Each structure stands twice: as C-alpha cells, then as structure tokens.
Amino acid sequence: MKLSLTSLVAVLMALTSVSYGAQDRPKLVRVHLMTVQMAHTDYIQYSREKGKATDYERVQQYIANKRAVILDVNCVTSRSGEKATLESVREYIYPSEYNPPGSLEPVNQNQKQFEAIPRGVFLRPSMQPAFETRNLGVTLELEPMIGEVGKIVDLRFAPEFVDQVGFSEWLKFKDEWGRADKKFPTFLSHRVQTGQTLAAGRFAMVNTFTGKNGKGELDPSRKILVFVMAEILILPEPVK
C-alpha cells in the first residue's frame, strides 16, 4: 500500500498530536501569597486545634466568623527552575543625610555670599545633600521547581512587607523665619527567606509576624499569618 506525500504528512501530524498529550506539554508554576491577621489570643487557639482540616481550611473558618481578616493577596507565574520577582510598591524618596546648622560650605557662585556672613552666626540647617529610595508595599522573590512526580513543588521564596509608619526627629531648630526641624522617616519591615516543599494546589502556612497598631508600632496582641500555594499549570494546546 503506497501513501501519497499529503497522506503521509497527515498521518505524521495525527501521530504527533496523539503523543503530545497534556503530560508532555510545558508546565508553569503559579504562586499565590496571602496574608491574614488575627488577634494573638485567637492565634493561640488556632495553633492548638487538631483535626483533619488543613491550616487554610481552619483559617477560612476564622475569617467567616470575623475573627480574622485577609490583609492582601499576591500572585505571580513563573517557569519551573527560574527566578521571578513581584513588586507592588510605592517609591518613597527621602533625605538620608543633612548638614547641621553652621555647616554651610562655599561653592562657586555662593563664595561671596558665604564670605559675607559674619563668623559665629548660627545658620539655618541647609538642604539635604543625599537622598534614598525605599519601596513601600510588597516585594516577593521566588524560585519554584516542579518535583519529579509532578504533584510537588519545591519553592524558595523571600517576601518582604514595608510600611512607612512615622518620623523620628533628629534636630529641633527655630529662627525668625519659623521652625526648620529635621525629621527622618521610620519604616516597619516584615521579611522572611525560606524554602518549602508544597503539595500542588494546596495552601500551606509558612510563618507568622507580629502585627502593628494604629501608631505603626509593633503590637504583640496582633499576629499576621503568611500562607503560600503553588499551582502547576499545563500549557494549553495551540489554537488551530
């Protein structure tokens, strides 16, 4: 039996479509990060509960009963074995140094003005010579790896949560033009760097943080629970 070239190509395409099943298509990993806050007393009870329910199922009951609240949820998709970074931030630019009173230095066109100032005059604090940028919000770095079985994900990840919670006063100054105090921002950071072995499609609790109060101070009566889940996504068939 002889096959024409067209028939042979059709047979090869059919064989290829059969062998290129779901298990052979490329896979991606989608990682979900969820933070939940609850009172310290509720967390003690939560941590001592035993039963068949998972950590995620139990915390959902606390949320349903309004004993816990979801703070944030973030998601990023990556290829297995490759690093990914997610940023949901606001860039906060602030002065990191200052020149104290009386430290005005002559610079080019200001030379004559500087020389004209009598010695011993208490000068108003000058402009800040240096600035820094701090990312406020959530930064997530991760590297997922699909296990040999295809249902396990080894995940290395490092989430960081940063808030600007106030200012610290470094210098009080007042002259005939008013106040010129020097203040620098204070930040509250929560970060963890760890590795986890996860069952694909299931949330797992990774760690807890101490929460903050209305003044931006660490508050031991509040706990923040960090949950992570990794999904294995199979690339769909190309559009025909």
pLDDT in tens, 71-106: 999 999 999 999 999 999 999 998 877 665 555 444
Tell me whether residue 189 is in a domain: yes
Tell me whether residue 3 is in a domain: no
* Gap between the Cα atoms of 101 and 122, Å rounded: 6
167: pLDDT confidence band, cut at 50, 70 and 90? confident
DSSP string, 34-102: EEEEEEHHHHHHHHH--SSS-HHHHHHHHHHTTSEEEEEEEEEEEETT--EEEEEEEEEEEE---PPTT
Tell me whether residue 86 is in a domain: yes
9: pLDDT confidence band, cut at 50, 70 and 90? very low
Tell me whether residue 14 is in a domain: no
Contact 54, 227 (CB under 8 A): no
Tell me whether residue 2 is in a domain: no
Q: Which domain holds residue 170?
A: 24-234
* Gap between the Cα atoms of 61 and 59, Å rounded: 5
Cβ-based neighbours of 208, under 8 Å, separated by 6 or more: 43, 223, 224, 225, 226
The closest of 29, 30, 33, 224 to 139, measured between CA atoms, is 33
The reported pLDDT for the residue numbered 239 is: 79
Q: What is the pTM of this model?
A: 0.76
Number of structural domains found in the chain:
1
* Gap between the Cα atoms of 17 and 238, Å rounded: 11
Tell me whether residue 225 is in a domain: yes
The reported pLDDT for the residue numbered 88 is: 94
Average pLDDT for residues 145-171, to the nearest whole number?
Answer: 90
Tell me whether residue 1 is in a domain: no
Q: Report how far Cα 158 is from the mean position of its chain's Cα atoms.
A: 8
